[in-house]
Amino acid sequence: MEILGLACAAVLLFGAVLSIETRISRSDRQLARVERKLDLLLEHMGLQEHDPRLREVIELLRNGKKLYAIKRYRELTGAGLKEAKEAVERLG
């Protein structure tokens, strides 16, 4: 009987974790869409985002160190690889 109870608890816990991961994933996708739209608006208006933390990234780009710039961008912002690559390319 105890094993059945533990199995049920494990299944419920797994379902709860899966539900939370799904919500987080959905939120991440929504946030990425909003960021892309904001980037398009800024580009359309001819504006650039000036984050003082990105000076180092810009300097790496100027020195031809694009991969290091992407890595540093990720470290500074917590962005994913694709997002960081796109952002660094916009900076360059």
**Residue 63, domain extent:** 49-92
Q: Could you say which of 28, 47, 66 is where a domain stops?
A: 47
Residues 32 and 74 in one domain: no
Per-residue pLDDT in tens (0 to 9) along the chain, 92 residues: 688 888 888 888 888 888 888 888 888 888 888 888 888 888 888 877 667 888 899 999 999 999 999 999 999 989 999 999 998 998 87
What confidence score (pLDDT) does residue 51 get? 76
Determine the Cα–Cα distance for residues 89 and 9; give it in Å rounded to an integer.
48
Residues 43 and 4 in one domain: yes
Is 0.85 surpassed by the pTM of this model? no
What confidence score (pLDDT) does residue 49 get? 67
Residues 72 and 40 in one domain: no
Residues 75 and 34 in one domain: no
DSSP string, 7-48: HHHHHHHHHHHHHHHHHHHHHHHHHHHHHHHHHHHHHHTT--
Question: For the chain, how many structural domains are there in total?
Answer: 2
Residues 62 and 77 in one domain: yes
Residues 37 and 60 in one domain: no
